[in-house]
Structure 1
């Protein structure tokens, strides 16, 4: 008996999805909650898990095909109707052992169970599922449970086992090539992206406290790693992002020796870094190099790769937003020395209590959320000819992944303290890079925060994505000499400074509105009074 698996609801306002990759093939066994396929929507790329256990009998939707929510994707059953190898296995015992036809006819499902049941004396009999090119090594076909034949049917079972064994060479042909399956790719986590995993700890900032300014919005060396110069598009083993290859080459790491920890066993950038660290820890340190290493040339240079579906969606939305709204940007410079001093005084205790590093981003998020409550026009949206003021401040945090820019949402941000904001930022950013977010976690934002300074930029003019009306970009926190005015007059001192850039939709937000919002944030941050908002 088989059961259809339909495309589930993929989040608010999502009505369809595109099948980008099947992770299982016909004849393979799948367990409950094991990923079946990858689906892309206009909001997120996600894996669809199997709601039932069984054998895949028929794939109903091809890769790159777009279907509506509720459409049947695949049929999963007990295997009685899903494999072409089973009928072949039935025919040979029937021809060679006519007297066994009658007992076998009474139970038509038995011949299929027989080859699987004989997996112990005849290992090749379990190979048909292993011949599929996309099979993951973590789910070998031999794990498929099979009913043992009854004692009285043992002679017929032995005859049946010999026939599949004879067929094995043809179905087993691809098996020797499956060893490289461990050489998988794609680093979904922070490490896989061009934004290095160490970016959150040492984001190349110039100030002493900048090591913590590790916002989850990181600039990528490669915006799209969904396509590669791989020989085989069907095998995950052949798919390695240019960044992973480049890093392995720089570190002298043999990729064939690494077992990937990413989705489907793909090799992530973090896997390469860990392998490199292990290798260096076992070696005797050599003398410091006398000259810097030569600049590495990107493997993407001189190549042409197709845009991923997510990259196309981002491009389309950016163009539509720019053409449909009147966007401009206002910038203020903020002295965050008080924040830096407070952060330095509590960061060790904060890490001990919460397990999360205290960067500057939670301070910016808290100040923005509070300013939004006083300046609701920055948090508003346009619907037809009306301005809608939401009763909450849902802040989207821009996260740069190897698949493209994604914006998971912190809901009711104004109700959170620094510990709550830091925890949610870290959790959402990591799960975004690991492709483990639900579609609903990427929708419902009313305002966006992006850290453009995580790679050293002073500021930029970020694009507002509709239906939101504003987005705040935070630049790098850096120390520099500034004029300080106090009761004793003017003096010059070394201060920690940052630029805040607010892009907004001029259809409903005026320059004065933007300035009021930015000045509210400036006063809050320069005051540095966050002790009651620490949350530990």
Structure 2
């Protein structure tokens, strides 16, 4: 299962284009997957014959798991090759086969619960365990209780093969084993959200969430549990920007073939501000801060079905307003037609969501993990404002909007978050009405 985005850890197989025994050519579609961010066809990396399919339709598969095996040789040549491989090669082949061997998660969990090494109270898994890890645990008589105490080196404390093998080796040698007691903010599993009891009357309608809405719901809850959110708000006077767009929009469309909206200007302002405040272009991994070199701005786009997708404009700081406009329009159009590819969602380092498109004034957005901040842009409205003139103060009509920034208080303090947001507002307010198209 390929990685379909920085924050995507699993995907649902919604369609198989092949079956076992079929011959497939390189780049032909193998299967279709769906996540909360993208529906995409996964092509075959090689020419060959499909020997084994491990997961059925609608299976939820973690990133990195083997979903199928394709051989690039026919059976006869493959058997002959196997007869003459040396011992190291045999070991390698056996390890690959063991890794590829499918294991039913529920049965594996049940097996290690039924044969625990350490008797304890009833234990339930609080995190995902891959079939390979459960298979190793079962064969080595590692109970689920023990599994829950092993610190994982994967994202969100996920237990990987090397972690359980190290644990087993340490247990055999009698050495102490590292557990999650070691300080690691991200390694601590977040508690499951509390279930609220709801009374249902005969006239109420019960609607089951679709797959995308379930994933979005889980992702939003996870973000609030992982990051302590703080939201700051400023009001920006964007009169010059509004007057400039009104003046040049027809010329811009005629010259470049694209409609100019306010969003490319917002993206330009954010990218410029990030170059001055690079910590806002980061991610948090435990007690480590990962500062990203590239400024990749993700923009929330509403689809016709009501769900949101977040395509990414790569290297936004390197593009002029024309380039940002063309890139933004292309991604928005592809999103509405469900034509975005996997690469269009990958690598985002900062997100902008436009509450103003629904004529909302202010929003307090939820951070798009693993980013550390998200900007919400409100609607632009005419308002009376007091301005200083050579003859004294005067009340005039100005175009104003609210900007709200939600940021991760683990690494972004109020002074930094407030200064960054104020800088974005200043850049917009300094926009020149005489800027060339």
Q: Same-fold call, TM > 0.5?
A: yes
Alignment partner of 1:62 is 2:56: yes
**Aligned pair in 2 of structure 1 residues 30, 467: CA closer, same or farther (>3 Å)?**
closer
The answer to whether the 8 Å contact 1:377/1:389 transfers is yes
Q: What is the rounded CA distance, in whole Å, between the counterparts of 1:21 and 1:407 in structure 2?
A: 23
Structure 1 residues 16 and 329, CA, compared in 2 at 3 Å: closer, same or farther? Answer: closer
Report the equivalent of 2:282. Answer: 380
- Determine the structure 2 residue equivalent to 1:242: none
Which whole-Å CA distance do the structure 2 matches of 1:62 and 1:380 have between them? 37
Total equivalences in the alignment: 303
Give me the whole-angstrom Cα distance separating, in 2, the residues matched to 1:456 and 1:445: 26
Q: Matched residue of 2:395: which SS?
A: strand
**Which residue matches 1:357?**
259
Task: Give me the whole-angstrom Cα distance separating, in 1, the residues matched to 2:287 and 2:351.
Answer: 23
- Gap regions ≥5 residues in structure 1: 1-6, 76-300
CA 1:419–1:388 in structure 2 vs 1: closer, same or farther (change >3 Å)?
A: same
* Contact 2:296–2:312 (8 Å) recurs in 1: yes
Aligned partner of 2:431 among 528, 531, 534: 528
CA shift, 1:469, in A, is 1.0
Aligned CA distance change for structure 1 residues 451 and 12 (closer, same or farther; 3 Å)? closer
Query: Do 2:51 and 2:68's aligned partners in 1 also have CA atoms closer than 8 Å?
Result: no
CA apart distance, 1:43: 4.5
- Structure 1 residues 57, 322: CA separation in 2 closer, same or farther (over 3 Å shift)? closer
Q: Match of 2:236?
A: 334
Query: Are 2:67 and 1:71 aligned?
Result: yes
Rounded to whole Å, the distance in 1 between the matches of 2:48 and 2:433 is: 55
Give CA-to-partner distance per residue, 1:200-240, whole Å, 9 cap, x none: xxxxxxxxxxxxxxxxxxxxxxxxxxxxxxxxxxxxxxxxx
Change (3 A) 1:457 1:529: same
1:19 matches 2:13: yes
The one of 402, 408, 412 aligned to 1:499: 402
- 1:52/1:445 Cα in 2 relative to 1: closer, same or farther (>3 Å)? closer
Q: How far did 1:450 drift?
A: 0.6
* Contact 2:5–2:347 under 8 Å retained in 1: no
Deviation at 1:335, TM superposition (A): 1.0
CA distance in 2, matches of 1:302, 1:56: 49
**Pairwise CA distance, 1:411:** 1.4
What are the Cα deviations for residues 274-313 of structure 1, in whole angstroms up to 9, with x where unaligned? xxxxxxxxxxxxxxxxxxxxxxxxxxx9643432333222
SS in 2 for 1:425: helix
Equivalent in 303, 308, 311 of residue 210 of structure 2? 308
1:124-273 pair list within 5 angstroms: none
Partner of 1:485: helix, strand, or coil?
Answer: strand
Aligned CA distance change for structure 1 residues 492 and 74 (closer, same or farther; 3 Å): farther
Q: How much has 1:427 moved relative to structure 2?
A: 1.1
Match of 1:226 in 2: none
Tell me if the contact between 2:54 and 2:67 (Cα under 8 Å) persists in the aligned partners.
Answer: no
Match for residue 479 of structure 1?
382
Conservation of the 8 A alpha-carbon contact between 1:378 and 1:469: yes
Q: Secondary structure at the match of 2:402?
A: strand
Give me the whole-angstrom Cα distance separating, in 1, the residues matched to 2:231 and 2:31: 41
Q: How far did residue 364 of structure 1 move?
A: 1.0
Q: CA deviation at 1:393?
A: 1.4
Note the C-alpha offset of 1:51: 8.0
* Shift, 1:480, TM fit: 2.2
Whether the 8 Å contact between 1:331 and 1:499 is mirrored in structure 2 is yes
CA distance in 2, matches of 1:487, 1:392: 45
TM-score by length of 1: 0.50
Q: Which SS does the other structure have where 1:64 is aligned?
A: coil
Q: Are the aligned partners of 1:332 and 1:499 in contact in 2 as well (CA < 8 Å)?
A: yes
Cα root mean square deviation, aligned: 3.5
Inter-CA distance 388–72: structure 2 relative to 1 (3 Å threshold): closer
2:32 is aligned, of 31, 38, 45, to 38
Partner of 1:366: 268
Contact 1:310/1:403 (8 A) holds in 2: no
Q: Distance in 2 between matches of 1:369 and 1:530?
A: 20
8 Å contact from structure 2 (residues 50, 68) kept in 1: no
CA distance in 2 between counterparts of 1:371 and 1:10 reads: 28
